[in-house]
Structure 1
């Protein structure tokens, strides 16, 4: 998980939540202004000028995920994004048999968007998982009515002004937008092909909607994807019935293989 700064103080003198975590109200996406982050301690002296072999790395990992230490202690910050901070409780979700949380997924989205790969920069843009997660809450999904004139809780009128979670200028240059999404304790990815106006759903557990509610959710997400495209791309024309949707087919053997 790069870039990061590891923070190993003997004792933490502060207990604050990660700044910049999104807040939502009334089913409309609206991020709060980033507060001034608490200053992070510098790298602990014991980490300076040492070679990290397997033993040292194992000691650091053990310290990071220790359940006896402060769960709110800030352990890593993303270079150039002062609001993106991971606390110990975020790293706990990386333990075996745990569910990774949205803060870790958001960190990975930033990492993918900043990757040096020319193909990724040309083709793909990862979108903050919190956008869909909070707009498509249960009551909003229940009230969603699809059709030529759909009825649904949409994005805030100010959506797109805060580029921390959706950079419309960068997104407009990419062919595919990737939306990590968690529902019923399971993560999958909505891959929205902007120009073709279609969604490919990469779900390792399902090759079709598992029930009517999931089918309704997928349709709802399609409408929101087109809403975002309308904000990012001048002249984007929505489809009458929402973008076409399909599920990727997964084949499992000794090495996972995905076919689209």
Structure 2
């Protein structure tokens, strides 16, 4: 699926007039993390003390285009679509409870070392995004942690897991 399709779906999703969508969920444009989570930056990422860490500010500065902080702050959960190595999956993050989920139709625990690194990097970026959105939110000392993998049906196609 092409990134522009997901961008449009997020824009439509965020603009739906249904009360549930106006209060509960905000879909993060995939270009926000996609611009940062390049294969090269994922490989550089090791932990929060790594001098090679490239965060949102390095790529976007103080103002992230494609992201409406006012609207996002009204919602309870971020949906964060990710595409890496031509594979899409979805993270969901609930800032008040610091609950972090992954929905992926190809990947199941136990995870490869590469996928663990990708999840850690995404968690750090989503933590930053929550801090930019909610005045009450404090970046977690240990990050938001590893995502809980939701049991979704395996996608029958020619692609392997990460």
Report if TM-score (shorter chain) is over 0.5.
yes
1:176 counterpart = 2:77 = yes
Cα deviation 1:53-81 (Å, max 9, x = unaligned): xxxxxxxxxxxxxxxxxxxxxxxxxxxxx
Partner of 2:159: none
Give the distance between the partners of 2:144 and 2:151, measured in 1 at CA. 19
Give the distance between the partners of 1:248 and 1:159, measured in 2 at CA. 33
| Superposed displacement of residue 159, structure 1 | 4.3
Give the distance between the partners of 2:76 and 2:88, measured in 1 at CA. 22
Partner of 2:34: 133
Q: Which runs of 4+ in 1 moved over 2 A?
A: 156-163, 207-210
Partner of 1:115: 16
What TM-score, normalized by structure 2, do the two folds share?
A: 0.84
Count of aligned pairs:
151
Residue segments in structure 1 that go unaligned for 5+ positions in a row: 1-99, 253-260
Query: Does the 8 Å contact 2:95/2:137 carry over to 1?
Result: no
Query: Does the 8 Å contact 2:3/2:30 carry over to 1?
Result: yes
1:226 counterpart = 2:103 = no
Query: Does the 8 Å contact 1:124/1:176 carry over to 2?
Result: yes
SS of match in other structure, 1:236: coil
1:246 counterpart = 2:143 = no
Which structure has more relative contact order (CA 8 Å, sep 6+)? It is 2
Query: What does 1:1-80 correspond to in 2, within 5 Å?
Result: none
SS of match in other structure, 2:6: helix
| Superposed displacement of residue 172, structure 1 | 1.2
| C-alpha RMSD over aligned residues | 1.9
| Superposed displacement of residue 235, structure 1 | 3.3
Query: Does the 8 Å contact 1:160/1:167 carry over to 2?
Result: no
Structure showing greater Rg: 1
Residue segments in structure 2 that go unaligned for 5+ positions in a row: 155-162
| Superposed displacement of residue 176, structure 1 | 0.7
What TM-score, normalized by structure 1, do the two folds share?
A: 0.54
Query: What does 1:143-158 correspond to in 2, within 5 Å?
Result: 143-147=44-48, 149=49, 151=51, 152-156=53-57
